[in-house]
Structure 1
Amino acid sequence: MFFRSEVFAHLLVTFVYFLLVAIARWRFDLSLIWLWLGAFLGTFLLDIDHLLYWFVTHQEEEDSKEAERIVSDKMRATKGFGRIKEIIKDFYALLQRVHSSHSRLIFHSVVGQTILFVLAIYIVTSGGSVLGSALIMAANLHLLKDEWADFGRNKDHLADWLFWQIREPKLREYLKEYLVGVTLVFLILTGLLIKGI
């Protein structure tokens, strides 16, 4: 079950990408710890979108009410760290059931992707933090993986969640060109990441 899950797919893509980045930079020092920590955290950063969906932007939805019930039930029933672990486990199960219905997410969109790319350009070119650079690149990789996966499975679904903030139906015709463009931007940022860290 786990090996077929969305989480496993994201972790696998992230592992392969950052393994190649680590090898390409050819520097094996303590900064690798920050690189891998940023990669791991960035992989799950965009999942905050689903929490915003449940608790901020779409509280009226049935799955949002279920997420709220999970929190209130676990807060009463469990104590300490076990409570957080149980909430995450139940959120994961809920998200597996309703993932495809969440098509109005803030960062899972063309506007959100633009913001992520601007942040990536700033963080990667400023040459500061390996952790920050890896985190923002992993978040961008997460979104890119989702886009290409949906492009292969269901282009209409991809266009629905990617362009929901822009009401221009002709954009759907340019999905492939858009994906090739953002992939090229991502590869350029990867080159800057390898050179800069």
Structure 2
Amino acid sequence: MKFSVVATSLPEVKIIEPKVFGDERGFFFESFNEQEFAEAIGERVTFVQDNHSRSARNVLRGLHYQIEHAQGKLVRVVAGEVFDVAVDMRRSSPNFGKWTAHVLSADNKRQLWIPPGFAHGFVVLSETTDFLYKTTDYWFAEHERCVVWDDPDLAINWPLDGEPVLAAKDMAGKRVVDAQTYE
């Protein structure tokens, strides 16, 4: 394989670490290989959309998910650094409401696989960050939901430098116990 898979505290969420080949000219790595990715996560997925966001320090995006057209996401940072969080939103899961968080950066080149059924969010740790993600379904505004970033039941220890910069929809998120979830 051209990458290794690192387990997280949530068995379905995986860290993907590419094998990076570097020399005095720079570096090269294969950021996605459909066959090897399917072997690593135990199923074949089809990505239908690529997204790119740029954010400044302390911008906190999320925790987002869709109740219909649930999206699996393969996320990575190409410039900067984020603290990236996935929350299990499947009510029937023994891990419902549990979360895992990992630092993704241009330097460590790690990717995170967040399967359908999980909310996702991140906070920017560097001056700016370019964040890329592939999704397994399209975005539908009418199906998008948000868990509030500071839900006391989650108690995520966001590494913030002051107050987060939030979008209105993120400020209006619901607590996990009140959120519409997957069964």
TM-score range, shorter chain: under 0.3
Larger Rg: 1
Which of the two has greater strand per residue?
Answer: 2
Which of the two has greater helix per residue?
Answer: 1
* TM-score normalised per structure 1: 0.25
* TM-score normalised per structure 2: 0.26
